């Protein structure tokens, strides 16, 4: 779409939601791989107010209304917990969905796209490459989020993406994509495919422990990239946890693992130069120092002990998902470069190899944090 088309669409959406003020500016947030996100500015009586406008990818989230219901149940619950804890500035600590006057959550365009409006946390930033203080704060944000949801009725949540972090199923999907090889790409990715297959036991370890009743399922965030935490732009303090579309039952180790996978790799998730990719142990420690103390006494010892396994499992799982999408012809993740899914696969594999070599150190550092906080 051209600029003036966005302007006209967003003006229509703002009117549809009966938001006050005139649209004055649009900024695209280009980091997401699934939904399309924009920050829009409006002005009313000389005062500026920002909102998030987001197109929900309804191929990935096939039931957007159910996603909205989930998110609202979760944000209501978190809000209640924040109030009970005596927080004052609630609007900065939890994001909200706007509803239309008929109660619905979406502006649906003639071409069938679902647009929603979310509150914008003021005087706050989201950070793709967090430094150590921000990472520690992100750890606390996701740890507290976990605690707020510890008594949330899991059965009331709709499964927005079935088997989202079922690594065994993700591996099955990879095998299926390889056996049909619909785009003739398998021969060029044999090395990556073989490596992932050789790591299947490590990747599925936590799923097996869970199947055997050794790790409980809890309501977790499921997409704990540090850019899903808003930070105060001046103090760096953590504010709202955002991107709640995948809040579902899952394993705590995957929330821990995904946060570390994303934030403790200074090379970034899709760096073509894999020599830049590694797990920075101090970044790992910083996140763990924020996250783990929130969990102690609230989750089982086995859950704590297996947190490092989550880093390896989720990195392998994401590599498998990227490679599956590459073999399937790039239908799921947005591709912003040629062979983007293959580049992402290689980056995640490079990271998984480094994580694998550092597992003893990850366990050692975790034990030290646990000892200090018991």
Convert residues 301-340 into a mask of x (bound to ligand GN1 by CB under 6 A) and - (unbound): -----------------x----------------------
* Cβ burial 206-227 (10 Å sphere, 16+ → b, else e): bbebbeeeebeebbbbbbbbbb
Which listed residue (144, 223, 270, 289) binds Mg ion by CB under 5 A? 223
What DSSP state is assigned to residue 334?
-
Convert residues 42-71 into a mask of x (bound to ligand GN1 by CB under 6 A) and - (unbound): ------------------x-----------
> For residues 343 and 277, what is the distance between their CA atoms, to the nearest angstrom?
12
User: Residue 269's binding partner, choosing from ligand GN1, Mg ion, none, with beta-carbon cut-off 5 to 8 A by kind?
Assistant: ligand GN1
Longest Cα–Cα distance of the chain, Å, equals 62
- Interface stretch with ligand GN1, choices 27-35, 142-150, 179-187, 284-292 (CB under 6 A): 27-35
> For residues 295 and 189, what is the distance between their CA atoms, to the nearest angstrom?
40
Report the relative pairing of strands 238-241 and 229-232 from DSSP bridges: antiparallel
> For residues 122 and 130, what is the distance between their CA atoms, to the nearest angstrom?
19
Shortest Cβ 227–ligand GN1 spacing (Å): 8
Tokens (6 digits) for 43: 């002005």
Shortest Cβ 93–ligand GN1 spacing (Å): 20
Shortest Cβ 302–ligand GN1 spacing (Å): 24
Q: Which residues pair with 49 in a beta bridge?
A: 42
Which listed residue (14, 34, 118, 121) binds ligand GN1 by CB under 6 A? 34
Residues within window 162-221 making contact with ligand GN1, judged by CB under 6 A: none
> How would DSSP label each residue in 215-274?
S--EEE-S---GGGEEEETTT--EEEE---TT-EEE-HHHHHHHHHHHHT-TT-TT-S-G
For residues 312 and 355, the answer to whether their CB atoms sit within 8 Å is yes
For residues 87 and 63, the answer to whether their CB atoms sit within 8 Å is no
Number of residues that bind ligand GN1 (CB under 6 A): 9
**CB-count burial class (<10 Å; 0-12, 13-18, 19+) for 40:** buried
Shortest Cβ 335–ligand GN1 spacing (Å): 12
Task: Select 245 or 309, whichever has its Cβ closest to ligand GN1.
Answer: 245
Closest Cα to residue 363, out of 312, 280, 306, 296? 306
Which listed residue (192, 202, 243, 309) binds ligand GN1 by CB under 6 A? 243
- Interface stretch with ligand GN1, choices 31-39, 142-150, 170-178, 199-207 (CB under 6 A): 31-39
Task: Select 269 or 289, whichever has its Cβ closest to ligand GN1.
Answer: 269
User: Residue 318's binding partner, choosing from Mg ion, ligand GN1, none, with beta-carbon cut-off 5 to 8 A by kind?
Assistant: ligand GN1
Task: Select 296 or 335, whichever has its Cβ closest to ligand GN1.
Answer: 335
Shortest Cβ 26–Mg ion spacing (Å): 21
Task: Select 21 or 32, whichever has its Cβ closest to ligand GN1.
Answer: 32
Shortest Cβ 161–Mg ion spacing (Å): 11
In this structure, the number of other CB atoms found within 10 A of the CB of residue 174 comes to 24
- Interface stretch with Mg ion, choices 21-29, 182-190, 242-250, 259-267 (CB under 5 A): 242-250
For residues 189 and 345, the answer to whether their CB atoms sit within 8 Å is yes
> For residues 304 and 135, what is the distance between their CA atoms, to the nearest angstrom?
19
Tokens (6 digits) for 59: 């191929």
CA 26, 105, 33, 265 torsion: positive or negative?
positive
Q: Indicate whether 248 belongs to the interface with ligand GN1 (CB under 6 A).
A: no
Shortest Cβ 223–Mg ion spacing (Å): 4
Task: Select 243 or 303, whichever has its Cβ closest to ligand GN1.
Answer: 243
Shortest Cβ 185–ligand GN1 spacing (Å): 20
For Mg ion, the binding residues (CB under 5 A) are 223, 243
For ligand GN1, the binding residues (CB under 6 A) are 32-34, 60, 223, 243, 246, 269, 318
């Amino acid at each position: 779409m051209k600029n003036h088309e966005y302007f006209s669409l967003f003006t229509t959406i703002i009117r549809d939601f009966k938001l006050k003020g005139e649209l004055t500016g649009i900024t695209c947030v280009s980091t997401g791989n699934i939904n399309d996100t924009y920050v829009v500015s409006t002005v009313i009586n000389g005062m500026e107010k920002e909102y998030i406008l987001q197109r929900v990818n309804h191929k990935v989230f096939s039931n957007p209304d159910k996603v909205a219901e989930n998110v609202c149940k979760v944000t209501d619950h978190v809000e209640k917990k924040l109030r009970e804890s005596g927080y004052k500035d609630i609007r900065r600590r939890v994001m909200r969905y706007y509803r239309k006057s008929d109660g619905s959550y979406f502006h649906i365009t003639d071409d069938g796209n679902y647009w929603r409006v979310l509150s914008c946390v003021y005087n706050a930033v989201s950070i793709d490459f967090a430094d150590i203080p921000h990472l520690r704060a992100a750890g606390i944000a996701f740890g507290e989020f976990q605690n707020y949801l510890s008594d949330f009725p899991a059965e009331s949540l709709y499964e927005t993406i079935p088997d989202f972090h079922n690594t065994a199923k993700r591996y099955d999907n990879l095998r299926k994509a390889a056996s049909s090889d619909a785009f003739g790409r398998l021969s060029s990715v044999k090395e990556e495919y073989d490596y992932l297959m050789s790591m299947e036991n490590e990747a599925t370890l936590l799923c097996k422990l869970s199947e055997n009743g050794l790790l409980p399922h809890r309501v977790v965030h499921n997409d704990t990239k540090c850019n899903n935490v808003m930070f105060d732009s001046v103090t760096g303090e953590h504010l709202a946890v955002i991107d709640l579309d995948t809040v579902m039952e899952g394993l705590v180790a995957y929330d821990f693992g995904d946060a570390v996978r994303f934030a403790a790799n200074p090379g970034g998730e899709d760096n073509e130069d894999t020599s830049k990719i590694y797990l920075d142990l101090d970044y790992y420690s910083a996140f763990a120092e924020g996250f783990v103390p929130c969990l102690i006494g609230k989750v089982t010892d086995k859950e704590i002990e297996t947190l490092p396994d989550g880093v390896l499992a989720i990195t392998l799982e994401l590599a498998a998902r990227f490679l599956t999408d590459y073999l399937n012809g790039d239908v799921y993740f947005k591709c912003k470069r040629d062979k983007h899914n293959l580049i992402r696969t290689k980056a995640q594999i490079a990271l998984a190899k480094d994580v694998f070599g550092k597992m003893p150190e990850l366990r050692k550092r975790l034990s030290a944090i646990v000892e200090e906080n018991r």
